[in-house]
């Protein structure tokens, strides 16, 4: 694998897989261009070298070609940010795409239409009847896997080299995120700058650990974080459990949680995780008090109480002041920090205090030399909302990809570049 810094793109066409899956309003205006801006350094490097980037991305989850998910809606903004008049191909593998890619001159760029307009990108059969038999499903899957080879080969044929700069899709073994890498030798496939930074950040918190290492895991469900928590129990010194998961753990320990969010079928699992932490010498930190409300609303009546004494008609929507102090005390003494998930319903302004206090503690620890990685959509939204994004070490662009990396899974988009099995 070659480093993008050491590769000269002069006179070369590069297929660049980016993640331009940005949110659009009802008038197709981009409401957050973070992902586009994240890919700019890589695209500008190729253009500055005298190369020609052929940009591939998905947008949304289309089940076929549809105007709603067309990348033409973002073309103007991409051109503006890149400083070049980016061309557009109305199909990613049609004749127009091939002709425009072949005609690209040094310093010119081409954006292909949404790769997911084709089932072959994801390699999943579409259009099956609801009552399709197992045999029909098997045949459809085999057919799309076969046509996926032609789809992938066509995309690869446009370029001299391949650059993957889409960490957000690195956990998917799709045509453009992994399979395409097989068509390029080791010296002609590489990570873009964003991917390089993401990979290094993940390795920093999972392999190159300076202790104490603290992970703050929020989120509503224990079930969605089981594998992450279990993997972290082998690595961290402190594991802070926050968010909706708090109440499953609290109820498992015999506490009263009112009408707070809970997974009743995961109470035994919560007790198992508590015991595992104890057996491994991990300091498992749980809330002691909560900010409770009589309705799931920003305008609800609120008060504070012990987390295990929530009245029947009330629910916990954030941590309380005593828990804020406990969490902050642990975080501020840490040297490696991973934050995934807020402490409460931070979307409501009246329940942002806990998440803000965690963010402030992370910022303080970072200023004192800790390495801090913030990842997962809600955590990223938190640090952006509180104006802290530039005060932590790294903010990851990958939601699912980051979580799978933390779980210890091999990410196909990374393995394919490194020449490893996935």
The two tokens of residue 116 are 């997911």
- Cα–Cα distances in angstroms (integers) from residue 172 to residues 37, 182, 361, in the given order: 22, 15, 34
The torsion of the CA quartet 60, 66, 68, 71, rounded to 10 degrees, works out to: 70
Q: Which of 17, 35, 116, 225 is catalytic?
A: 35
**Measured between alpha carbons, how far is 88 from 108 in angstroms, rounded to an integer?**
11
The two tokens of residue 173 are 């073994």
φ/ψ of residue 355, rounded to 5: -65, -40
Please indicate whether residue 400 is annotated as part of the active site.
Answer: yes
Which residues contact residue 23 at a Cβ distance below 8 angstroms, ignoring those fewer than 6 apart?
Answer: 30, 31, 32
Q: Which of 64, 329, 377, 419 is catalytic?
A: 377
Please indicate whether residue 235 is annotated as part of the active site.
Answer: no
**Would you report the helix, strand and coil content of the chain in percent, each value rounded to 5?**
45, 15, 40
Please indicate whether residue 168 is annotated as part of the active site.
Answer: no
φ/ψ of residue 74, rounded to 5: -105, 0
What angle separates helix 72-82 from helix 34-49, to the nearest 10 degrees? 60
Please indicate whether residue 375 is annotated as part of the active site.
Answer: no
Which residues contact residue 132 at a Cβ distance below 8 angstroms, ignoring those fewer than 6 apart?
Answer: 140
The strand ranges marked E within 252-406 are 256-257, 283-285, 289-293, 302-306, 309-310, 315-319, 336-340, 371-374, 394-395
Q: Which of 50, 94, 107, 400 is catalytic?
A: 400
Query: Under DSSP, is residue 92 helix (H, G, I), strand (E, B) or coil?
Result: coil
Which residues contact residue 136 at a Cβ distance below 8 angstroms, ignoring those fewer than 6 apart?
Answer: 128, 129
User: Which has the closest alpha carbon to 57: 77, 27, 45?
Assistant: 77
Q: Which of 221, 256, 276, 335 is catalytic?
A: 221
Does an H or E element contain 142, and which?
helix 134-157
Cα 11-92-42 angle, rounded to 5 deg: 45
Catalytically active residues are 35, 221, 377, 400
């Amino acid at each position: 694998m070659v480093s993008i810094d050491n590769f000269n793109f002069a006179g070369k066409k590069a297929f660049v897989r980016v993640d331009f899956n940005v949110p659009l309003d009802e008038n197709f205006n981009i409401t957050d261009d973070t992902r586009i801006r994240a890919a700019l350094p890589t695209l500008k490097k190729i253009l500055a070298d005298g190369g020609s980037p052929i940009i591939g991305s998905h947008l949304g989850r289309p089940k076929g070609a549809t105007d709603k998910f067309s990348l033409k809606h973002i073309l103007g903004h991409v051109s503006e940010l890149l400083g070049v008049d980016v061309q557009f191909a109305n199909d990613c593998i049609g004749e127009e795409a091939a002709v425009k890619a072949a005609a690209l001159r040094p310093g010119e760029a081409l954006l292909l239409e949404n790769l997911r307009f084709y089932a072959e990108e994801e390699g999943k059969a579409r259009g099956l009847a609801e009552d399709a038999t197992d045999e029909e499903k098997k045949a459809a899957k085999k057919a799309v896997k076969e046509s996926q080879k032609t789809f992938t080969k066509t995309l690869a044929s446009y370029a001299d080299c391949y650059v993957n700069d889409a960490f957000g899709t690195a956990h998917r073994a799709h045509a453009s995120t992994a399979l395409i890498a097989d068509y390029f030798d080791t010296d002609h496939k590489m990570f873009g700058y964003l991917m390089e930074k993401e990979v290094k950040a993940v390795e920093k918190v999972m392999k190159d650990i300076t202790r104490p290492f603290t992970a703050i895991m929020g989120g509503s469900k224990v079930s969605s974080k089981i594998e992450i928590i279990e993997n972290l129990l082998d690595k961290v010194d402190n594991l802070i459990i926050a968010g909706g998961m708090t109440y499953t753990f609290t109820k498992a320990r015999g506490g009263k949680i009112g009408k707070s969010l809970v997974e009743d079928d995961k109470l035994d699992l919560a007790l198992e995780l508590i015991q595992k932490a104890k057996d491994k010498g991990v300091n498992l930190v749980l809330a002691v008090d909560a900010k409770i409300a009589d309705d799931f609303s920003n305008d609800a009546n609120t008060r504070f109480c012990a987390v295990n004494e929530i009245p029947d008609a009330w629910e916990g929507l954030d941590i309380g002041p005593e828990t804020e102090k406990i969490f902050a005390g642990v975080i501020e003494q840490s040297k490696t920090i991973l934050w995934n998930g807020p402490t409460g319903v931070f979307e409501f302004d009246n329940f942002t205090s806990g998440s803000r206090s965690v963010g402030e503690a992370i910022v303080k620890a970072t200023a004192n030399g800790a390495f801090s990685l913030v990842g997962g959509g809600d955590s990223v939204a938190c640090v952006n909302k509180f104006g802290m994004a530039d005060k932590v070490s790294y903010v990851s662009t990958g939601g699912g990809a980051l979580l799978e990396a933390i779980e210890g899974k091999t990410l196909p988009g990374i393995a394919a570049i490194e020449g490893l099995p996935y």
